[in-house]
Structures are given as C-alpha cells and as structure tokens.
Amino acid sequence: MMVGFCCLKIYNKKSQVEIDGNITDFESCSEAGNAVMESYPRQCRTGDGRLFVEDIGNELEKIDLVRVDFPRPQQKISSPLRISGQARGFWFFEASFPVSLFDAQGRVLAQGLATAQTDWMTEDFVSFEAELEFENQTSGSRGTLVLEKDNPSGLPENEDSLEVPVVFY
C-alpha cells in the first residue's frame, strides 16, 4: 500500500510540473487552479514558484488624473459599450476627450468622445460618460479601451492616456 501511495504522489507532482510549464500569464495561471492572491492587481503563483500579475493597464499610474468606473480592467464587454468615470477638468477640452477601443492586434474597433456631466473648467474630478458601438468580437478575445487626454495644442508633452484591458463576450 505504501508503494502505491509513493507512486501516486510522484505522478501528481509530475502532472503539476507539466501544467506549470504551460502557464504563460495570469489568466492561464489562474485557470490551472493555482492560488490567486487578492491584492490589486491580483497575483498568481505557480507550483514551481513563478509569479504572474493580472494586467490592469496603467490604471495605478493614472489614478490621480482619470478613473474609470465602467468597464473595470479585464471586465467582459459587448456593444454598445457605456463608459463612465471621472477625470480631472484639465483632461477635457470643450467638455470632452477622445476614447478608442482596440482589438488585440491594435485595430481600431470604435472611436468616440467622453463628455463631461458637469462643469469641466476645474482641476477637480468631473464625471464623464461615453458610448461606443462596435462589431462584437469573438467571445474571450481581448482588447484595450484607451481614454486620451484631449490635447488641442498637439504638443507631445501634453499627451497622456489611460489604457484599460477588456475582454469581449
């Protein structure tokens, strides 16, 4: 009986190593049943010690400039996509700023404008809304929502953007 247990244990360890070898990102790590740490962004560690961090775009870098309530990073979306959040008044020009949706290959799926819901002539946060219509993509495929600081000057030093990774369904 002890021999059978030892062999079973070795087999399970080998299977886990084979599974861990196919893991290349946070999603595949999580799907393989590895523990996910509930930090932000979430992290997943494989049995062989590799660590993968969930892609949340550049949200943490831009949190003091622009915040998206919907869609959140890695959220499943479909058309029409209603976008909402808050941005500092200087993110707008004439009460709007550009938003674009890209597929995983960088092709533009939709473009539009986010519009301020209150007075935008402030340095405080101002609520915004936008809606994009696009051809629905293959379920499970990925894309990126990009919110650009409006830059009427065209000067590179005034450019800024928030990138939100999304999943189509």
Looking from the CA of 48 toward its CB, the CA atoms found within 13 Å total: 14
Assign 167 to helix, strand or coil.
strand
Helices (H), 22-166: 26-31, 59-62
- What span, in angstroms and rounded, lies between the C-alpha atoms of 127 and 148? 15
Check residue 21 and give its pLDDT: 65
Compute how many other C-beta atoms are within 10 angstroms of the C-beta atom of residue 138.
10
Model confidence at 20, in pLDDT bands (50, 70, 90)?
low
139-156 per-position pLDDT tens digit = 999 999 999 999 999 999
- pLDDT (0 to 100) of residue 16: 44
Rounded Cα distance between 163 and 83, Å, is 13
Helix ranges (H only) for the chain are 2-21, 26-31, 59-62
Beta 108-116 vs 96-103: how paired, if at all? antiparallel
Q: What's at 114, amino acid-wise?
A: A
What digits encode the pLDDT tens for the residues 25-84? 999 999 999 999 999 999 999 999 999 999 999 999 999 999 999 999 999 999 999 999
- 162 forms beta bridges with 147
**Per residue in 94-139, pLDDT tens?**
999 999 999 999 999 999 999 999 999 999 999 999 999 999 999 9
Domains of the chain (ranges, CATH numbers): 2-53 (no CATH), 59-168 (2.60.40.2550)
Instruction: Place 7 in a pLDDT band, splitting at 50, 70 and 90.
Output: very low
Nearest to 65 by CA among 83, 90, 40: 90
Distance CA 59, CA 72 (A): 10
Q: How are beta strands 51-53 and 81-88 bridged, if at all?
A: unpaired
pLDDT of residue 9: 33
User: Which has the higher per-residue pLDDT, 16 or 116?
Assistant: 116
